[in-house]
Amino acid sequence: MEASAVCARHFYNSSVAATNMKMLITYPESKNPGGVSNYWKNLRGEFGISTVHFTIGKRTEEKGLLTRIRRSLADYRRFLAHLKSNEIDLVQINPSLDPKSFARDGILALSARACGKKTVVFFHGWQKPFEKRISRGFSWIFKLLFGWADAFIVLSDAFGKKLETWGVTKPIYREVTVLSNDSLKGLNMQEVLRKRHETGRFRILFLSRILRSKGIYETVQAVSLLQARYPNVELVIAGEGAELDNVKSFAREVGASNVIFPGYVKGQEKRRLFEQANIYCLQSYSEGFPVSVVEAMAFGLPVITRPVGGLVDFFKDGEHGFMSDSLEPTIVANMIERLLLDKALCDRISLTNYRYAQEHFSASDAAARLERIYSTLLDSR
């Protein structure tokens, strides 16, 4: 199913969003490197409606349990103050399906509905183990917290179907991760490909939080297998996370050389890594719709990944890169090797991904689609 459409089992024609609509959007602070924060940062300035951006969750400078409790209570008080204002027409809650976000954002959604505000719940991240816990006997809690929402947005058809099994009967829409409209300014894809060929190396990029669930250990081991035969193979592991030090030790243990750890990157440094890489590798155990894959495609990188989250709905094996459900390092290494040995195939996929990202992941297009959803909900009053 094409990712360019707002593909859902429920969709209604609607008028252009009312210009006097005012919406409250909740998401983590902009300093947060997570996907939810990045999604809404990319949409800033794209809406034709008035929006209030409301920060929730842990702050960067926050230290200590007592400070966190006080901040949480202050967040709820500020949120309720906004809800009591007649100026807010609609509330957009942006949880991930994980225990912490589920409870925090569920209370926000319930509060918005209790105050009589139209409410949209947009699930971004999606943890499979937590999904199973809800399905095994806690779907009633889901209905208690989120069942009052007027509409839902998900990043995968599979997520939407799961919501239906938990009793959701309201409209469910599917959206995609988006790119900032400014992120690719000045990019000359042919020039980028030329420079990649000139280096003589084959650079694999991993850019994400350094967590076991991102498949980082499988990626390192796959690269070590390749380097035994291809000494020009490099691996760049960009990001921070709980497993960073352990991954560095693991790379030494399995004999992976030419492994670079630039840390958390953004702006021009992040762009440079995408431009200088040959392929992108993300072996996540579960995902919502990983923004790093969309960014990699936008910079013309073939992608080695797994059938997780929203990737299943559009990614074509052999056309956008290679996808396998297996986490076996030898399987991952074989997929990378196909691109390493076939430069023509690698270039063809690069250009395909570059064009696909431009056509399907535009922030301005996503904002227009969301506005149509919001307008439909307000019209229904």
Q: Structural domains in the chain? A: 22-180+362-379 (3.40.50.11930), 189-360 (3.40.50.2000)
- More confident position, 319 or 20: 319
**Per-residue pLDDT at 34:** 66
**59 with 32: CB under 8 angstroms?**
no
Could you report the per-residue pLDDT of 240-264, keeping only the tens digit for each? 999 999 999 999 999 999 999 999 9
Does the structure show a pLDDT above 70 at 31? no
Task: Express the helix, strand and coil content of the chain in percent, nearest 5 each.
Answer: 45, 15, 35
How do beta strands 22-28 and 303-305 pair? unpaired
Mean of all residue pLDDT scores within the chain = 89
**Per-residue pLDDT at 237:** 98
Confidence of residue 60 (pLDDT cuts 50, 70, 90): confident
**Per-residue pLDDT at 14:** 34
Nearest to 331 by CA among 239, 237, 225, 233: 225
Cα–Cα distance for residue pair 83/79, rounded to 1 Å: 6
Cα–Cα distance for residue pair 300/319, rounded to 1 Å: 12
**Alpha-carbon torsion 153, 159, 161, 162, what sign?**
negative
**Per-residue pLDDT at 44:** 84
pTM of the model: 0.83
Cα–Cα distance for residue pair 323/305, rounded to 1 Å: 5
Does the structure show a pLDDT above 60 at 339? yes
Does the structure show a pLDDT above 50 at 334? yes
